[in-house]
Chain A
Amino acid sequence: MTYPAAALMILGTAFLLVAALGVIRLRDPLQRMHSATKAGTLGVALLLIGVLLHDRSGADSVGWLTILFLLLTLPIGAQLLARATYVSGTALDGIDDDPLAGELDRAQTPIDV
């Protein structure tokens, strides 16, 4: 049993649990996204590194590729989704003056289904 691998796996899982808790507890979509993308990415990356330290089968390049791909694409996806969230007019909690008010078109009522 390798202790660094176990520690990284536990830490990564803890970050994922906190991220999921934030997705439930925070109050508006942008705050939930802040929890899901930042803590979620860090959690998955730490968990994968821990597993790769433990797994010595020689096939770990796929794992490193997954980490690299996640770090490259999750910020891009989050930016696209945040812009779409703002434009679709979802409720923003705790923001008094909106600095993007004149910059982007925004729906007055949120699109709900």
Chain B
Amino acid sequence: MSGMQMLAAGLAVVLAAALIMAAWRMVRGPSFADRFIALDMLTAVAVGFAAVTVVLTGRSAFLDIGLGLALINFVATAAFAVFLEAKERRK
């Protein structure tokens, strides 16, 4: 294991802590908006995780996973925002 791989493994542990924090906010809420913000944060950390995995395994294919997650994140955020506004208007 090279020095760069050990660094990547350490960073993965730190990123896992960030994932847990964002997930805690998603579970706790208290409002819909908080959960969507937590989802945004979760996908951002997941893209970071994919990037760290590239260094850890030496396979640059994990960059494609990061791009896919970023694409899905944008569509999900836009859809949830429209959903939240429509829910308010229907009341």
Contact = CB atoms under 8 A, between A and B. Distances in A.
Interface of A: 1-2, 5-6, 9-10, 12-13, 16-17, 19-21, 23-24, 29, 32-33, 36-37, 40-41, 43-44, 47-48, 50-51, 54-55, 57, 59-60, 62-63, 65-66, 69-70, 73-74, 76-78, 80-81, 83-85, 87-91, 105, 107, 110-113
Contacts of A41: 44
Interface string B42-82: 00110110011011000011011011001101100110111
A83 B40 contact: no
Interface residues of B, number: 55
Report whether over half of chain B's contact residues are helix, strand or loop; otherwise say mixed.
Answer: helix
